[in-house]
Amino acid sequence: MRRSTRSLLVAAATAALVLPLCTATAAAAAPPGFSNADKGALRNQAPRDLAIGSAVWGQRDLLEYDRAAPTEYQQVLSTQFSSLTPENDMKWDAVHPAPGVYDFTSADALVAYAKANHQQVRGHTLLWHSQNPAWVTAASRTWTCDDARAVLEDHIRTVVGHFKGEIYEWDVANEIFQDTWDNGGVRLRTEANPFLKACADDPVALVEDAFRWAHEADPGAVLFLNDYNAEGINEKTDAYYALAEQMLADGAPLGGFGAQGHLSLLYGFDTSIQANFERFAALGLKVAVTEADVRIPLQAGETGPTPEQVAVQAERYDAMLRACLNVTACSSFTVWGFPDANSWVPGVFPGEGWATIFEDDFTPKPAFTAMLQSLTDATPGTSPRR
């Protein structure tokens, strides 16, 4: 579908939103996002117990921030979202580039921006197999478990301690299970994750200690397990459920389970997301959609998706949000960045794109409109099942 057709498709759905967006951004020098008259802001229509967030890359988008003259991106970010997740700024390679060396420049800028705009921050991430600096991946080839534990403990205590009181939820352990199609089915990543590999004799003990170290560094933060392909009830989430039961029985301070929500129209939609969230909530855990986007396969030579694809994308975003709204324990719903120019999708999934809820000119897509309506329909101040 050509861009002109797509613009016609979204025009009717977004016409009522353009004025609120512009009104809010024009007054960005004042604390944004709190005017009852602004009905076009996701953060304003959300129940008070649900944070609506976006991923952001502070190094790229927030280091240059003048509250009196914000960029258009910064205006939309502050107007629409009550929570920010650092897409890259708190990962190992960003904050711990060399042994004993920590660099919080871009992460601090992100936290400062959030404070200035009355937003919360989700920390991401402390134990992961990817985006580790070269010194970690090289040294880990000869690490003993004691070596790995010492390095990980120092990192977690330093990073979480640096942001004590400023992070409401932390993704402590991210993507620690492999998928069913990865040679042998669902199992802990004791090959790809350098820390779990060094402690392969008892990786769960290391995961539990990671949570203990994070909790001791900041007792006020809710600590999450987080993964992709973890939306509905499947082999991977069964493994996470069993791990959560074990961790809680062992007294580890596990506080939440996060489903990333990276979806594609190439595959069907798992309608068991609410049931999955409910079973983790029954363990006493918070649940969250932590990295939502819905990518669309794009044909070569076409400039955008078809109307049918756009409609399905909106349905899937909204279905994830409504599953969250329908579970009392769902504490946050985060989209993985915007607009499409900032999306990680085309670089990782060639031939797919248009995955966010804003076009590159910050026009809201039908997915935005559907989510806004569901938030508006939710019981004010509390999610529907409270």
236 contacts 243 by C-beta, under 8 angstroms: no
pLDDT for the residue numbered 383: 62
pLDDT for the residue numbered 8: 36
| Residue from 231, 309, 213, 237 nearest 269 by CA | 231
For 33-90, how does the pLDDT look when each residue is reduced to its tens digit (9 = 90+)?
334 446 899 999 999 899 999 999 999 999 999 999 999 999 999 999 999 999 999 9
For 277-334, how does the pLDDT look when each residue is reduced to its tens digit (9 = 90+)?
999 999 999 999 999 999 999 987 777 899 999 999 999 999 999 999 999 999 999 9
Name the pLDDT band for 354 (thresholds 50, 70, 90).
very high
Sketch the domain layout of the chain as residue ranges. Answer: 3-377
Does the global pTM surpass 0.85? yes
Give the total residue count for the chain: 386
pLDDT for the residue numbered 25: 33
For 182-220, how does the pLDDT look when each residue is reduced to its tens digit (9 = 90+)?
566 789 999 999 999 999 999 999 999 999 999 999 999
| Beta-carbon contacts of residue 25 (< 8 Å; ≥ 6 apart) | 32, 70, 72, 75, 76, 79
Could you give the residue numbers annotated as active site?
A: 175, 291
Name the pLDDT band for 31 (thresholds 50, 70, 90).
very low
pLDDT for the residue numbered 26: 31
Query: Six-digit token pair at 209?
Result: 């200690």
For 103-143, how does the pLDDT look when each residue is reduced to its tens digit (9 = 90+)?
999 999 999 999 999 999 999 999 999 999 999 999 998 99
For 236-285, how does the pLDDT look when each residue is reduced to its tens digit (9 = 90+)?
999 999 999 999 999 999 999 999 999 999 999 999 999 999 999 999 99
pLDDT for the residue numbered 180: 65
Residue 27 pLDDT greater than 90, yes or no: no
Q: Give me the percent of the chain exceeding a pLDDT of 70.
A: 87
Mind spelling out the 3-state secondary structure of 29-82? Answer: CCCCCCCCCCCCCHHHHCCCCCEEEEEECHHHHCCCCCCCCCCHHHHHHHHHCC
Q: How far apart are the first and last CA of the chain?
A: 42
| Residue from 385, 302, 338, 329 nearest 84 by CA | 338
pLDDT for the residue numbered 67: 93
236 contacts 226 by C-beta, under 8 angstroms: no
CATH class of 3-377: alpha beta
Do the bridges between strand 330-335 and strand 352-353 make them parallel or antiparallel, or are there none, so unpaired? unpaired
∠ Cα 112 329 122 (to 5°): 20
Average pLDDT, rounded, for the chain: 89
Strand partners, 122: 169
- Taking the C-alpha atoms of residue 192 and residue 185, their distance in angstroms, rounded to an integer, is 15
Residue 181 pLDDT greater than 70, yes or no: no
pLDDT for the residue numbered 384: 58
- Taking the C-alpha atoms of residue 302 and residue 280, their distance in angstroms, rounded to an integer, is 42
In the 8-state DSSP scheme, what is residue 85? E
DSSP state string for 228-254: SS-SSSSHHHHHHHHHHHHHHHTT---
Burial of 282 (0-12, 13-18, 19+ CB in 10 A): exposed
Task: Write out the H or E segment, with its range, that includes residue 310.
Answer: helix 307-325
Q: Taking residues 165-180, report their average pLDDT.
A: 94
| Beta-carbon contacts of residue 359 (< 8 Å; ≥ 6 apart) | 10, 339, 340, 365
pLDDT for the residue numbered 300: 78
pLDDT for the residue numbered 301: 73
Query: Six-digit token pair at 386?
Result: 């409270």
